[in-house]
Amino acid sequence: MLIVYESKTGFTKKYADMLSAKTGLKVFQIKELSKVNQDEEIIFLGWMKVGKIQGLDKLRKYNVKAVCGSGTGRTAEPDTEAVITRNKIEDKIFFYLRGGCFPLKELKGMDKIMLSMFLKMLKSRRDKDEKLEEAISIIENGFDGVKEENLKPVLEWLNTR
Ligand SMILES: Cc1cc2nc3c(=O)[nH]c(=O)nc-3n(C[C@H](O)[C@H](O)[C@H](O)COP(=O)(O)O)c2cc1C
């Protein structure tokens, strides 16, 4: 088993490195995929962008057994089933890992534009509950939800193999 990850701002990388340190499994960035044998079992970690787990499509021909999606939501959004269907990973085990983000003003390019639009939409909602207020604050102020304990289900799954 190997760990492969795709991370844009470093939060998913933190989980990949943590998982490698805890298990002794080798870790590869997606850029290094050519070094990975296609038969080798893989646990993949990718950051989520509008529900899509980034980088996953590059591994379609590889032997991916487990997929971890990292996002800023408290849980996989809108729900785990929808994420599994959207990413076509019904045949794999899926784990959601809460990641993090930098404040909107520090972002650049398309990501900044997309999140600015999303923020505007969230702010215009009249029915703001605590979860929505949190989502607004996360985008504006940044957030780091990376915790070792979040890897517990992944480690438990690895132990059963
Ligand atoms: C354009 C954009 C879209 C995003 N869409 C989602 C999403 O649909 N669900 C979610 O939970 N997080 C979403 N996020 C948050 C990132 O997935 C999260 O910050 C992730 O942990 C970043 O990982 P990285 O630091 O490894 O790149 C989005 C972030 C950006 C910039």
Q: For the chain, what percent of residues have pLDDT higher than 90?
A: 99
Summarised one tens digit per residue, pLDDT across range 115-140 is 999 999 999 999 999 999 999 999 99
H/E stretch holding 4: strand 2-6
Please state, in angstroms and rounded to a whole number, the distance separating the CA atoms of residues 93 and 55.
17
For residue 69 and ligand 1, the question of a CB distance below 6 A is answered with no
Specify the amino acid at residue 83.
V
Bond prior to 78 in cis (omega within 30° of 0) = yes
2-101+145-159 folds as Rossmann fold (3.40.50)
| pLDDT of res. 48 | 98
The pLDDT-based confidence of 6 (bands split at 50, 70, 90) is very high
Q: What's the mean pLDDT in 153-161?
A: 96
For residue 5 and ligand 1, the question of a CB distance below 6 A is answered with no
Give how far the C-alpha of residue 8 lies from the chain's centroid of Cα atoms, to the nearest Å. 10
Atom 3 of ligand 1: nearest residue by CA position: 49
Q: What's the mean pLDDT in 147-160?
A: 97
Which of 101, 102, 122, 143 gets mutated to test ligand 1 (max ligand atoms within 8 A of its CB)? 101
- Report CA(58)–ligand 1 centroid distance (Å): 18
Provide the 10 A C-beta neighbour count for residue 48. Answer: 22
Q: 3-class DSSP state for residue 144?
A: strand
| pLDDT of res. 4 | 98
Please state, in angstroms and rounded to a whole number, the distance separating the CA atoms of residues 114 and 61.
30
| pLDDT of res. 152 | 98
| pLDDT of res. 89 | 98
Summarised one tens digit per residue, pLDDT across range 17-65 is 999 999 999 999 999 999 999 999 999 999 999 999 999 999 999 999 9
Atom 29 of ligand 1: nearest residue by CA position: 49
Q: Domain residues of the chain, as ranges? A: 2-101+145-159, 103-141
Atom 22 of ligand 1: nearest residue by CA position: 47
pTM of the prediction? 0.97
The residues near 132 (Cβ < 8 Å, ≥ 6 apart) are 122, 125
| pLDDT of res. 147 | 98
